[in-house]
Amino acid sequence: MAQVLEFKLPDLGEGLTEAEIVRWLVEVGDVVAIDQPVVEVETAKAMVEVPCPYGGVVTARFGEEGTELPVGAPLLTVAVGAPEGLETSGPVTPGPSGARNGSAPSGPSSPSSSSGSSATESSGGSGNVLVGYGTGAPAARRRRIRPDRLDRTPTRSGALTVEAAVPEAPVSEAPVSGAPGVPVPAASSTAAPGSVAPVSDGPVPVVSPLVRRLARQHDIELRRLTGSGPDGLILRADVDRAIRQAEEAEAAKTRTARAATAPTGASPAAASPAASAAPAAERIPLRGVRGAVADKLSRSRTEIPDATCWVDADATELMAVRAAMNAATGPSAGPKVSVLALLARICTAALARFPELNSTVDTEAREIVRLPGVHLGFAAQTERGLVVPVVRDAHTRNAESIGAEIARLTELARTGKLSPAQLTGGTFTLNNYGVFGVDGSTPIINHPEAAMLGVGRIMPKPWVHQGELAVRQVVQLSLTFDHRVCDGGTAGGFLRYVADCVEQPAVLLRTL
């Protein structure tokens, strides 16, 4: 006998509590294999393809593209453990009429397991604890069961009821609140999802504590809602729809009351000229990357007593060295080296001299934790917003290796394919805001790091060189640091060393 299993949005790691559906990779009626990616979601860290631990036929999807779901919310349901005579590799034949009427189909059937673990094993589930990724097994080719070979009954949520292979069973794993053993009556097929239904004395078909809390906060009577989920299950979308309807009704009532109290001799246009002329303000939700940036920067400003120092440096010699590197031919030739890669190499050398800035503060233990390695983050502006990819073990790399890794991570950032692991764990950040055509800035520290080096644009300016006024390539460097980990002398020494390396790259030869 087939069994319908519910796949919920798994914990994607790094403390993430919700994700937004970007693109569904399967449709209702598709046959999926174990650990096949079924949906692409966007978290505050990255875009992730979420694999399903069950193999079978997709019977329902929860949430449209653009919907934000909390961790643990249902993603989809899968009918697994097809009975004898229903093979996923061959055509699916409709069940007998008795199956449509709710009676068990004739013929042998495999018993379903009562425990969650045995259900996973019998259904062919992977059994893995998903943290945003599957077992790595290659995904099977996506196939859809032909409509003429499958007896289907469309539900209000667009779900597909596989009547020949799936018995009527509750999708949820948790019991519905109310009297034990009392079945939840299915909602009428003619009722619209989220519409008001007659009050019932039976248990409320809700299994999500989030849905119940949301309804309580907005005084929504769940018994009066018609659920759009399987077997009339009330979903968050149903409650959100009821909230919007209530708000629209309240707004209409307010407009009616204002119109009734307006002076009778005045025309509507003359009564409220300001209201009709003033455009409505746009409200943009703080979520996804924008929400994560807002939370992190707010926490940095709240917790870290930061200070900033800056200096102008003559980068003419650095630009000449870079040009010589990239113009080399023969055995000494290699990949092009960027200015950012040279500055990153200078940072790792400076952090070796001033390790106080490669640290973090443990506020609970009231300790400064000096970190053994440098994981260098660099700010990158993408269509999704500001992200900070991390070059691992930058202190062990040369300029060429750092440049290659920066180029690789930048390409992943532009295509939205950075994983959460590639966006976390930095110990120091390099911010090249000169690409925006500005000279200076006071950057906010990337919490929980202790410092950030900012680099402005490199441009020709008048400069006193060897006692004479000349036009040189000048750059402004700024260092924002956590005053808890060091004093101004240490921060000034770090920034001066960086400036010396920019002005005289030969200084770096001592540390190579």
Closest by CA position to 369, among listed 358, 378, 379: 358
Q: Is 375 one of the catalytic residues? A: no
Q: Report the run of H or E that residue 37 belongs to, with start and end.
A: strand 36-42
Please tell me the distance from the alpha carbon of residue 107 to that of residue 2, in angstroms, as a whole number. Answer: 13
**Bridge partner list, 41:** 21, 48
Please tell me the distance from the alpha carbon of residue 202 to that of residue 181, in angstroms, as a whole number. Answer: 11
Q: Are 443 and 297 in contact (CB under 8 A)?
A: no
Count of helices and strands (H, E) across the chain:
11, 22
Which stretches does DSSP call E strand in 306-426? 306-314, 359-362, 367-370, 376-378, 380-382, 385-387, 390-391
Please tell me the distance from the alpha carbon of residue 59 to that of residue 77, in angstroms, as a whole number. Answer: 6
| DSSP states along 160-226 | EEETTT--S----SSPPSSSTTPPPPPPPTTSPTT-B----SS------HHHHHHHHHTT--GGGBP
Residues 6+ apart with CB under 8 A from 147: 29
Please provide the size of the chain in residues: 512
Residues 6+ apart with CB under 8 A from 167: 1, 2, 104
Instruction: Give, in order, the Cα–Cα distances in Å from 170 to each of 133, 206, 213, 260, 498.
Output: 27, 12, 22, 50, 65
Strands 36-42 and 160-162: unpaired
By annotation, the residues acting in catalysis are 483
